[in-house]
Structure formats: structure tokens, C-alpha cells
């Protein structure tokens, strides 16, 4: 299932129109867009602990069979992204724990393989990190709808913050914060790392409600 973001699509459309302008941007980083959305009814101070995976996976429309690991992005860029998320969460007063230590939140960063923004994929995808996370679970976006318009640039970074205390009776996990860093991983290894980290930092700047 493919979902899109109207605000992001509008910005990307405007950027495409710059092709007719005489003064084009000299650096791709000047076109970076950081999109955030959240559940306005959720109090992020309810949680104390968080967990994040050891690698940043790539999600495709045809994920690997159950029990198999997905492909991951470059190790250096992945560790930098995870480090930026960790540093920002710690600075907001949260404590990182192991994924098996019953965290209040899990933070799931991933990269869609194509320019189709995937929010609905096979339920077992994250079992490479959290075994038996839940048969047949899905995502629920209470109070906001990030699932709406066209596409993003290939190699964009997506982050979802999942409230592990908000599992519904239908076995859906509550997602209370979404981030898209458009095209963050398009370029050299150094550029990828710098742009992704800058995007994560900007996402937290845009999200003062994430505070213990």
C-alpha cells in the first residue's frame, strides 16, 4: 500500500518548478525537506524509555520472507542516523533500553527502496529485531493522518515513533510521531551522513512536544 504527504508533495512540486529558473541551487542539500507529523492528543511525557535497532533497514514493496533479515543501508550512515536519534532522545530526558526490556517507545528508522512511501508492509518485517513482536500487527495513527499523497525522493529517510503502551484490541501498534527526511541518502557517503544527521536534528527541533 502506498501513501503520500500533501505538504511534502507540494514542496517537492515547487522544487521541480525551479528547473525553469535561471539561478539553480548548486548543492543538493539546499533542497532537503524535513517533514514531521504527530498525534496532537498524545502526551509524550507519558513514556520514559525507548529502544532503537542496531541498523537502518531498507523496505521494499516485496519484503523478505518471514524470519529473514532485510537489507540495510551503509553501515557508517546508519550508525550516524541512529546516533543522532539517540542523542536527541537522551537530551529530551528519555532513557535508552534494550528492545527486550519493555520500552515505552520503539523508534523505527527505515529507507523506502523506491520513491513510493511505504507505511503498510508485512507484519513480520521487524521480527529481525524484535522476535515475536506480534502476529498480524499493523500501524494505527490516532489523531493524525500521515497516510495521504504521492511520493518522495528515492533514498529518503523515514522514522516512526511507536507507543508500545498503545496497542489496540485489534493488535495495531500506535504510531505517534512520523519523520521524513526527503532524499537524505542521495549522494556521497559523507554527504549522506551529514544530511541525514542534519535532518534528524531538524526533525527534533520541529518537535518540541517530544519531551520527558
pLDDT of 75-122, one tens digit each? 888 999 999 999 999 999 999 999 999 999 999 999 887 766 666 666
Mean pLDDT over 138-145 rounds to 80
Burial of 8 (0-12, 13-18, 19+ CB in 10 A): buried
Q: Which position has the grid cell 544527521?
A: 197
CATH 3.30.160.670 is the classification of domain 30-205: yes
Residue 167 has pLDDT above 70, yes or no: no
Q: Where are the beta strands (DSSP E) in the chain?
A: 34-38, 49-51, 58-59, 95-96, 105-112, 138-140, 157-163, 172-181
For the question of whether the overall pTM of this predicted structure is more than 0.95, the answer is: no
More confident residue, 40 or 113: 40
**For residue 96, what pLDDT is reported?**
98
Q: State how far Cα 153 lies from the chain centre.
A: 14
Task: Tell me the C-alpha distance between 96 and 85, whole Å.
Answer: 11
Mean pLDDT over 147-156 rounds to 63
Q: State how far Cα 103 lies from the chain centre.
A: 18
pLDDT tens-digit map of 188-209: 566 667 888 999 999 999 999 9
**For residue 86, what pLDDT is reported?**
98
Cα–Cα separations (whole angstroms), residue 120 to 7, 60, 137, 144, 147: 20, 11, 10, 16, 10
Number of Cβ within a 10 Å radius of residue 198: 16
Question: How many percent of the chain have pLDDT more than 70?
Answer: 67
Number of Cβ within a 10 Å radius of residue 140: 18
Rounded mean pLDDT of the chain?
77
Burial of 104 (0-12, 13-18, 19+ CB in 10 A): buried
List residues bridging with 170 in a β-sheet: none
Amino acid at each position: 500500500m502506498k501513501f503520500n504527504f500533501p505538504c511534502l508533495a507540494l514542496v517537492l512540486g515547487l522544487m521541480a518548478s525551479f528547473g525553469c529558473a535561471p539561478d539553480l541551487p548548486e548543492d543538493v542539500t539546499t533542497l532537503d525537506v524535513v517533514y514531521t507529523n504527530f498525534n496532537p492528543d498524545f502526551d509524550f511525557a507519558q513514556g520514559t524509555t525507548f529502544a532503537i535497532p542496531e541498523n537502518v533497514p531498507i523496505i521494499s514493496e516485496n519484503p523478505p520472507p518471514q524470519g529473514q533479515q532485510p537489507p540495510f543501508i551503509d553501515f557508517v550512515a546508519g550508525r550516524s542516523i541512529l546516533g543522532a536519534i539517540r542523542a536527541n532522545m537522551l537530551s529530551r530526558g528519555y532513557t535508552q533500553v534494550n528492545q527486550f526490556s519493555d520500552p515505552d517507545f520503539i523508534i523505527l528508522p527505515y529507507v523506502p527502496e523506491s520513491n513510493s512511501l511505504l507505511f503498510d508492509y508485512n507484519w513480520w518485517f521487524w521480527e529481525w529485531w524484535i522476535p515475536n513482536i506480534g502476529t498480524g500487527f499493523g500501524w494505527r495513527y490516532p489523531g493524525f493522518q500521515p497516510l495521504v499523497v504521492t511520493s518522495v525522493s528515492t533514498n529518503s529517510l523515514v522514522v516512526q515513533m511507536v507507543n508500545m503502551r498503545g496497542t489496540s484490541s485489534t493488535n495495531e501498534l500506535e504510531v505517534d510521531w512520523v519523520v521524513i527526511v526527503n532524499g537524505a541518502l542521495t549522494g556521497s557517503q559523507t554527504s549522506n551522513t551529514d544530511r541525514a544527521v542534519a535532518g534528524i536534528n531538524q526533525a527534533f527541533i520541529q518537535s518540541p512536544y517530544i519531551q520527558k
